Amino acid sequence: MRQERTAIYPGTFDPLTNGHVSLIRRSRELFDRVVVAVAADTPKDPLFTLEERVRLAREAIGGSDPGIVVEPFDGLLVDYVARRGSCILLRGLRAVSDFEYEFQLALMNRRLRRDIQTVFLMTDYQWLYISSTIVKAAASLGGNIHGLVPGCVERALREKYAQGAPSGKRHA
């Protein structure tokens, strides 16, 4: 009997985009279980709290697939992956610019834990230009982000910025 293959898909998911959702759903064709691991520890200054990011990811992905689990994690990623009984880190790539950073992370993770492998999946072409940062910038200025993020995330972004959340860098 084959052992279940669990992939850990880590990120801040601030916010979760349709590109993330697409990658999660597609990864289920390759892995028995996908754990969407929402990072508590991040050098970024998240718009949403950890609890909000976990809730939004759960709501967006929903119970549509029992093989997808959303949970928070803190500490060193490779330690979390090992605690979850996995040896697979899943990462998404949009463009060549992502690759250099992701390659460095993969090598560092491999240095820290030789038994953990990083698997890269390319995003669907329709999501190549989407990032959480770009979506937040557009939303902060009242831009139309419909179709770029799940509906629950779109509503949450509108509410955050209506409450006066900092709009950050204005690149949109």
Q: Sheet of 6-11: strands edge to edge?
A: 68-73, 33-39, 6-11, 88-93, 117-122
Domain residue extents for the chain: 6-129
pLDDT of residue 141: 94
- pLDDT per residue of the chain (172 residues) written in tens, 0 to 9: 667 899 999 999 999 999 999 999 999 999 999 999 999 988 888 999 999 999 999 999 977 799 999 999 999 999 999 999 999 999 999 877 788 889 999 999 999 999 999 999 999 989 988 999 999 999 999 999 999 999 999 999 999 999 877 654 433 3
pLDDT of residue 167: 55
Residue 160 is among the residues annotated as catalytic for this protein = no
Alpha-carbon gap, residue 74 to 79, rounded angstroms: 10
- Please name which of 58, 44, 30 lies closest in space to residue 117, comparing C-alpha atoms: 30
Catalytic residue among 53, 94, 136, 160: 94
Please tell me the chain's helix, strand, coil percentages from 3-state DSSP, rounded to the nearest 5.
Answer: 40, 20, 40
pLDDT of residue 114: 96
- Please name which of 137, 94, 170, 16 lies closest in space to residue 36, comparing C-alpha atoms: 16
pLDDT of residue 170: 39
Residue 5 is among the residues annotated as catalytic for this protein = no
Residue 94 is among the residues annotated as catalytic for this protein = yes
pLDDT of residue 1: 64
For the domain spanning 6-129, the CATH number is 3.40.50.620
The pTM of the full predicted model, rounded to 2 decimals, is 0.91
| CA dihedral over 28, 30, 35, 39, signed as positive or negative | negative
Residue 169 is among the residues annotated as catalytic for this protein = no
Helix (H) or strand (E) holding 104: helix 96-112
What are the Cα distances from residue 68, in Å, to 6, 9, 46, 152, 158? Answer: 10, 10, 24, 18, 27
Catalytic residue among 5, 44, 155, 171: 44
Catalytic residue among 33, 53, 84, 132: 132
